[in-house]
């Protein structure tokens, strides 16, 4: 065992100070917290023999509230308000659960229109998605305006005026540039522009949001939000019209629930980020719970779907008619296949051995 630094043994607070440099409630500390607590929720749901969404739906309102951390958000959401929202969500809950089991939660696809795709590839993927019943599409924008105009026109012409189109800039622009760029893409009637600027710029998002209202374009953000406090401020500043939680960036289910409840209070639809790699498997539980027990609405609500790396999970998502079907297996759908874990384990896994060997050459 490596010898501990003598300064740490003499002054334990040094460890706390060190942790603050990589946190608190953000960065690697928060991501690690999320991973550990996601595993705990997975075990709890398995112990109860229920999928996580069902564990949450069946849980007493008071017990749910006891799982939340209200520090730093009581100016927006108190324990009493959270309890009241959950109690109101009891009305019609049984019918909404039956609706989810029968029809699933609406999804949208991001897989058709990544930057760098040729027009031929874009058309092929879009045509296949339409054949599979998709009605909501997201296109990546922000690298080149004329290219964006051409690609958005191509997609809009293919999907028609009645289907939903969203745009995602992945933090490309400064605030004035975002407003100017989107004014030129407004003709394609996007429902939202996602991450138009730095995810940390709350007031910048608010400026963009206000400027785009006359164009009928909303602002969506949240996949890079560190914690509930950032979401609180985005809501207070009216900086978004669509809130995008990420099930691995926030502090697991506990913090996600507080954000869902704040969104309900501000009447802002939650449309989670789920860019494949297991995110779809996790966030489906949260959004199904949101509909059944919190929001009770599907208006302007949908969950992202990317068909990427689901084959590594024991309980991959099930998509039917462009909707997430609620998982039926017990747990949080986080468990990976043993074979996949072995192959990707650092540094002895097959994938890493090949990669390191290639670098050595």
Closest CA to 264 of 283, 289, 281, 285: 289
Closest CA to 245 of 266, 279, 268, 270: 270
Please give the Cα distance from 125 to 151 (Å, whole number): 13
Instruction: Dig out the tokens for 323 from the structure.
Output: 């909707």
Termini Cα distance of the chain? 33
CA 320 to each of CA 125, 134, 331: distance values in angstroms, whole numbers, following the listed order: 18, 10, 21
54, 273, 285, 310: the catalytic one is 273
| Contact residues for 209 (Cβ-Cβ < 8 A; gap 6+) | 218, 219, 238, 239, 240, 241
DSSP 169: -
Is 312 noted as a catalytic residue in this protein?
no
Is 103 noted as a catalytic residue in this protein?
no
Instruction: Dig out the tokens for 190 from the structure.
Output: 């996007």
30, 50, 138, 140: the catalytic one is 140
Please give the Cα distance from 79 to 86 (Å, whole number): 11
HSE of 290, CA atoms in CB hemisphere, 13 A: 35
Please give the Cα distance from 258 to 1 (Å, whole number): 40
What pairs with residue 66 in β-bridges? Answer: none
What pairs with residue 323 in β-bridges? Answer: 106, 320
**In what helix (H) or strand (E) does residue 85 lie, and over which residues does it extend?**
helix 79-88
What pairs with residue 235 in β-bridges? Answer: none
Would you say 106 and 301 are in contact if contact means Cβ atoms under 8 Å apart? yes
Which residues are annotated as catalytic?
A: 140, 273
């Amino acid at each position: 065992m490596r010898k501990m630094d003598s300064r740490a043994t003499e002054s334990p607070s040094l460890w706390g100070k060190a942790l603050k440099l990589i946190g608190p409630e953000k960065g690697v500390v928060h991501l690690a917290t999320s991973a550990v607590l996601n595993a705990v929720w997975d075990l709890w749901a398995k112990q109860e023999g229920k999928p996580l969404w069902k564990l949450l739906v069946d849980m007493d309102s008071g017990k749910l509230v006891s799982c939340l951390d209200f520090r730093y958000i009581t100016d927006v959401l108190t324990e009493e308000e959270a309890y009241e929202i959950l109690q109101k969500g009891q009305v019609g809950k049984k019918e909404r659960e039956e609706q989810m089991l029968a029809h699933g939660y609406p999804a949208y696809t991001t897989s058709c229109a990544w930057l760098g795709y040729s027009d031929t590839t874009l058309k092929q993927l879009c045509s296949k998605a339409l054949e599979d019943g998709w009605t909501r599409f997201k296109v990546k924008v922000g690298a080149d305006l004329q290219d964006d105009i051409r690609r958005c026109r191509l997609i809009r012409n293919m999907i028609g005026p009645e289907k939903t189109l969203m745009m995602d800039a992945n933090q490309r622009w400064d605030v004035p540039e975002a407003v100017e760029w989107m004014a030129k893409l407004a003709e394609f009637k996007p429902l939202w522009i996602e991450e138009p600027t730095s995810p940390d710029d709350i007031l910048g998002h608010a400026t963009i949001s206000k400027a785009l209202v006359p164009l009928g374009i909303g602002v969506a953000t949240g996949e890079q939000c560190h914690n509930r406090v950032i979401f609180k401020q985005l809501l207070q500043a009216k900086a978004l019209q669509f809130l995008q939680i990420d099930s691995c960036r926030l502090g697991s289910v506990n913090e996600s629930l507080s954000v869902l409840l704040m969104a309900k209070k501000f009447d802002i639809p939650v449309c989670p980020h789920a860019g494949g790699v297991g995110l779809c498997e996790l966030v489906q539980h949260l959004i199904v719970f949101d509909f059944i027990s919190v929001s009770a609405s599907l208006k302007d609500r949908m969950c992202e779907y990317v068909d990427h790396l689901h084959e590594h999970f024991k309980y991959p998502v099930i998509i039917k008619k462009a909707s997430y079907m609620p998982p039926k297996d017990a747990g949080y759908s986080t468990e990976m296949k043993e074979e996949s874990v072995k192959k990707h384990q650092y540094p002895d896994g097959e994938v890493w051995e090949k990669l390191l060997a290639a670098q050595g050459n």
